[in-house]
Amino acid sequence: MKKVGVAILGLGVVGGGTYKILAEHRDFYKKNHNLDIVVESVLERNIARAEALGVEASKIAGGMAEICSNPDVDIIIEVMGGVEPAKTFVLAALNAGKSVVTSNKELFCKYSFELEKAAKKNNCGLFYEASCVGGVPIIRALTDNLQGNKITSMIGIINGTTNYILTKMSCGGAAYSDVLKEAQKLGYAEADPTSDVEGYDAAYKLSILSSMAFHTKIPYTDIYREGITSVSSSDIFYGKQLGYALKLLAIGKNGANGIEARVHPAFIRAEHPLASVNDSFNAVYLTGDCVGEVMLYGRGAGAAPTASAIVGDVIYCATHSNYVYSAFNNTEKADPSVKFVTNFESAYYLRIAAKDKAGVLSKVTSVLSKNGISMERVVQEKDGVEGAVPLVIITHETHENSVKKAVADINATDIAKVEAVIRVVS
Amino acid sequence: MKKVGVAILGLGVVGGGTYKILAEHRDFYKKNHNLDIVVESVLERNIARAEALGVEASKIAGGMAEICSNPDVDIIIEVMGGVEPAKTFVLAALNAGKSVVTSNKELFCKYSFELEKAAKKNNCGLFYEASCVGGVPIIRALTDNLQGNKITSMIGIINGTTNYILTKMSCGGAAYSDVLKEAQKLGYAEADPTSDVEGYDAAYKLSILSSMAFHTKIPYTDIYREGITSVSSSDIFYGKQLGYALKLLAIGKNGANGIEARVHPAFIRAEHPLASVNDSFNAVYLTGDCVGEVMLYGRGAGAAPTASAIVGDVIYCATHSNYVYSAFNNTEKADPSVKFVTNFESAYYLRIAAKDKAGVLSKVTSVLSKNGISMERVVQEKDGVEGAVPLVIITHETHENSVKKAVADINATDIAKVEAVIRVVS
User: What pLDDT shows up at residue B386?
Assistant: 60
Measured between beta carbons, the chain A residues lying within 8 angstroms of B148 are 21, 25, 29, 307-308, 311-312, 314-315
**Minimal-distance CA residue of chain B relative to A212:** B32
Q: C-alpha distances in angstroms, A369 versus A133, A354, A374, A378, B383?
A: 41, 18, 6, 14, 55
**Minimal-distance CA residue of chain B relative to A139:** B145
**Cβ A329 vs Cβ A216: under 8 Å:** yes
End-to-end CA distance of chain A: give it in Å, rounded.
Answer: 52
d(CA B143, CA B197): 29
d(CA B320, CA A254): 28
User: What pLDDT shows up at residue A406?
Assistant: 98
User: What pLDDT shows up at residue B186?
Assistant: 87
**Residue A127 sits at the chain B interface (C-beta within 8 Å):** no
User: What pLDDT shows up at residue A87?
Assistant: 98
Sequence-ordered list of residues with C-beta below 8 angstroms from that of B380, at least 6 positions apart, any chain: B354, B361, B389, B390, B391, B392
User: What pLDDT shows up at residue B405?
Assistant: 98
**Residue A335 sits at the chain B interface (C-beta within 8 Å):** no
Q: What is the CA radius of gyration of chain A?
A: 24
CB-nearest to A305 from B129, B291, B325 is B291
**Residue B300 sits at the chain A interface (C-beta within 8 Å):** no
Q: What is the CA radius of gyration of chain B?
A: 24
Stated as kind and residue range, the H or E segment containing B420 is: strand B416-425
- Establish whether the linkage from the previous residue to B85 is cis, with ω within 30° of 0: yes
User: What pLDDT shows up at residue B376?
Assistant: 96
**Minimal-distance CA residue of chain B relative to A318:** B144
Residues of A labelled catalytic: 205
Burial of A337 (0-12, 13-18, 19+ CB in 10 A): exposed
Name which of A425, A18, A112, A73 is nearest A262 in CA terms.
Answer: A425
**Cβ B265 vs Cβ B248: under 8 Å:** yes
CB-nearest to A137 from B32, B145, B150 is B145
- pTM across the whole model: 0.96
User: What pLDDT shows up at residue A347?
Assistant: 98
User: What pLDDT shows up at residue A383?
Assistant: 60
**DSSP at A343:** S
Q: Do B21 and A321 touch (CB under 8 A)?
A: no
d(CA B391, CA B413): 15
- For A105: left if phi > 0, alpha if psi spans -120 to 50, otherwise beta; the answer is alpha
For residues B34-43, one letter each, b for 16 or more C-beta atoms within 10 angstroms of the residue's C-beta and e for the rest, the string is ebebbbbbbb
**Residue A148 sits at the chain B interface (C-beta within 8 Å):** yes
d(CA A212, CA A2): 32
Name which of B230, B200, B242 is nearest B109 in CA terms.
Answer: B200
CB pairs under 8 A between A and B: 171
Measured between beta carbons, the chain A residues lying within 8 angstroms of B299 are 291-294
**Residue A2 sits at the chain B interface (C-beta within 8 Å):** no
What secondary structure does DSSP assign to A53-114, as a single string? TT--GGGB-SSHHHHHT-TT--EEEE---SSTTHHHHHHHHHHTT-EEEE--HHHHHHHHHH
With a CB-CB cutoff of 8 Å, which residues 256-285 of chain A face chain B? 273, 276
**Minimal-distance CA residue of chain A relative to B30:** A148
Helix (H, G, I), strand (E, B) or coil at B327: coil
Q: Do B290 and A305 touch (CB under 8 A)?
A: yes
Q: Do B296 and A291 touch (CB under 8 A)?
A: no
| Residue of A128, A216, A290 to mutate when probing chain B, most B C-beta within 10 A | A290
Spans of chain B below 70 pLDDT: 322-323, 356-357, 382-387
Sequence-ordered list of residues with C-beta below 8 angstroms from that of B233, at least 6 positions apart, any chain: B169, B173, B174, B175, B176
Measured between beta carbons, the chain B residues lying within 8 angstroms of A137 are 137, 140-141, 144-146, 294, 296
**Residue B147 sits at the chain A interface (C-beta within 8 Å):** yes
Q: How far is B337 from chain A (nearest CA, A)?
A: 14
Task: Sort strands A389-395 and B375-380 into parallel, antiparallel or unpaired.
Answer: unpaired
d(CA A426, CA A346): 8
Query: pLDDT (tens digit, 0 to 9) for every residue of chain A, 426 residues total?
Result: 999 999 999 999 999 999 999 999 999 999 999 999 999 999 999 999 999 999 999 999 999 999 999 999 999 999 999 999 999 999 999 999 999 999 999 999 999 999 999 999 999 999 999 999 999 999 999 999 999 999 999 999 999 999 999 999 999 889 999 999 999 998 888 999 999 999 999 999 999 999 999 999 999 999 999 999 999 999 999 999 999 999 999 999 999 999 999 999 999 999 999 999 999 899 999 999 999 999 999 998 889 999 999 999 999 999 987 667 777 888 999 999 999 999 999 999 999 998 866 788 899 999 999 999 999 999 987 665 566 778 999 999 999 999 999 999 999 998 899 999 999 997
For residues A364-380, one letter each, b for 16 or more C-beta atoms within 10 angstroms of the residue's C-beta and e for the rest, the string is beebbeebebebeeeee
d(CA A426, CA A267): 9
Measured between beta carbons, the chain A residues lying within 8 angstroms of B288 are 135, 308
User: What pLDDT shows up at residue B187?
Assistant: 84
| Residue of A291, A319, A331 to mutate when probing chain B, most B C-beta within 10 A | A291
| Residue of B140, B282, B290 to mutate when probing chain A, most A C-beta within 10 A | B290
Q: Do B304 and A291 touch (CB under 8 A)?
A: yes
Q: C-alpha distances in angstroms, A182 versus A175, A176, B371, B404?
A: 11, 10, 47, 49
CB-nearest to B308 from A146, A311, A316 is A146
